[in-house]
Amino acid sequence: MGSSKLTVLTANEVYDIDQATLEVLEKTGVRAYDRSALELLKKAGCETDEKKNLVKMPADLVKGSVKRAPSEFTLFARNPKNNVRIEPGTVCYGPMIGRINVIDLETGEKRRTTLQDVGNLTRIASALEYYRLPHSGVMMPHIEGVPDPVCHAHAYLTSIKNSEKVVKGTGRDGLKAKDCIRMASVVAGCEPEELRKKPNIFTTYNIVSPLSLQQRPSEGLVEYGKYGLPVDITSEVQAGATSPVTLAGSMVVQNAEILAGITLSQIANPGTPVFYGTASTIMDMHTGLITLGAVEAGLFNVATAQMAQYYNIPSRGTASNTESKVLDIQAGYEKAITMTMAALGGINYIWYPGTMEFALTVSYESLVIDNEICGMVDRAVKGILVDKSTLASELIETVGPGGQFLGEQHTVDYLRKAEHYFPKLSDRRSRDQWKEAGSRELKEVARDEAKRILKEYVPTPLEKDVEAKLNQIVREIEKRELK
């Protein structure tokens, strides 16, 4: 089977980006606003200017740190069948649950996301087969009806109750990181220090472009690193705004930011698992808005996968988003193109299915539809298996000219082996059959499927003592934050 691999950089170009990046980190540096992180970097051999919060990183320190990050690791779900092995050659998909807006499933109107939405969206993502690492509502800074300082606690509890898959935690600051790690340890039935053996939680560390390691997220990064828990270290450059307008120049800024984050993580705790992550794209110069559905976002994903492979670190990308406000043709092609490019490029973990409108809004229907896009893309990634059996020379001879293959056992066997992908939502009937069935458009079908899942799918409940302990932690966090 040939590898389904898309590349946009030559080996020499990857090397050139790496060398330009090391020069930027050593000569220009990054700003680090967390004093403890600044001290860690200084002790490790970085040149620091504490008045300017400036850190210049020696190339040997950066290269050594990158080598310490593992090339593979496992994330453990409360249902073991949903454990996720992150390793070279694998692709897994994670829908975006935590968005500030949602398209109401009944009215079709945009409104603020509530805690009930977080639970419902998490439950749908848990039920859909291609979503292996759903993004969690824990990352949301605001959930309608929940005080902002305790959003993370309520969202984690709601998410873990509605999902049998891995639930992400927040690293928005050190204290919230500790809260999530503590709750995850209760679910795992161990002390936080033991989670490194079977991590059931991970987080994202977003660098602020250009080249700024902000204080509170850095606290969260170090906290997760302390326990050896995986961190998705992600850059979100906007070409032409927070990075050079050229994609190559933007890749240098992105690479510098990610490698700086990886260096900090490995200084905090050598061997901490990380993703090499991107949410980079272009700023649309006509509107001044970020465009996550742009084809350039797809190019960033492919180039990111190549850089991650160069460093032998798992990659995380951003795809299946759209700037469209409705589920129309624009939404379809923007989602499909960026998703296909990311997967064929070799991104190991792809975010953002389910989102619309610059990733500000999540849609129940889109969550269901994008799962089907993931299925189609997943089949494309597997490519074409060529061996004696699949070449089927003897079968072709047996059937002969003018024959047909429908009744052959070979056909049945390979359909069972998923040689063909069979969509559950896409309509492949004739027009007359489609009209007889009600002439329904895809959005209607997806809406009904979302409602069916919410009615029928019930995740395995938490054990009563575990849920009681989590509720107690939530109450303690409320007492601390809302006094």
**pLDDT value at position 205?**
97
Is the distance from CB of 86 to CB of 75 less than 8 angstroms? yes
Q: For residues 314 and 311, what is the distance between their CA atoms, to the nearest angstrom?
A: 9
pLDDT at 3 over 90: no
Tell whether 444 is covered by a domain: no
- Cα–Cα distances in angstroms (integers) from residue 186 to residues 137, 156, 287, 432, in the given order: 19, 12, 47, 56
Whole-number mean pLDDT of the chain? 96
Give the residue-averaged pLDDT of 128-144: 93
- pLDDT at residue 430 tops 70: yes
pLDDT band at residue 29 using 50, 70 and 90 as cut-offs: very high
- Hunting for tokens 């190549």 — which residue is that? 306
pLDDT at 135: 85
pLDDT of 333 > 70? The answer is yes
Average pLDDT over residues 205-212: 97
Residue 224 has pLDDT above 90, yes or no: yes
Output DSSP code: residue 355: E
At residue 345, does pLDDT exceed 90? yes
Confidence of residue 98 (pLDDT cuts 50, 70, 90): confident
- Closest-CA residue to 239 (of 290, 303, 293, 301): 290
Check if the beta carbon of residue 227 is closer than 8 Å to that of residue 190.
Answer: no
- The pairing of strands 281-284 and 54-56 is unpaired
Q: How many domains, the chain?
A: 1
Look at residue 56 and tell me if it is in a domain: no
CA 373 to chain centre: 15
Please report whether residue 4 resides in a domain. Answer: no
Q: What is the pLDDT of residue 137?
A: 87
Instruction: Grade residue 5 by pLDDT with cuts at 50, 70 and 90.
Output: confident
Retrieve residue 429's tokens: 């009937």
Phi/psi of residue 13, each to 5°? -70, -35
- Give residue 471's pLDDT: 98
In order of 49, 117, 440, the CA distances from 450 in angstroms are 53, 12, 15
Condensed to tens digits (0 to 9), the pLDDT of residues 433-449 reads 999 999 999 999 999 99
Residue 227 lies in a domain: yes
Whether 298 maps to a domain, the answer reads yes
Average of per-residue pLDDT across 92-100: 93
* Residue 141 in domain: yes
Full-prediction pTM beyond 0.75? yes
pLDDT at 121: 97
- Tell whether the model's pLDDT for residue 2 goes beyond 80: no
Question: What CATH code is carried by the domain that includes residue 314?
Answer: 3.20.20.480
* Stretch 37-51: mean pLDDT: 95
44 found inside a domain: no
Residue 476 lies in a domain: no
pLDDT of 475 above 80: yes
- For residue 347 the two structure tokens come to 């991104």
| The CA-based dihedral angle spanning residues 372, 375, 376, 378, taken in that order and rounded to the nearest 10 degrees | 150
Domain that residue 85 falls in:
67-382
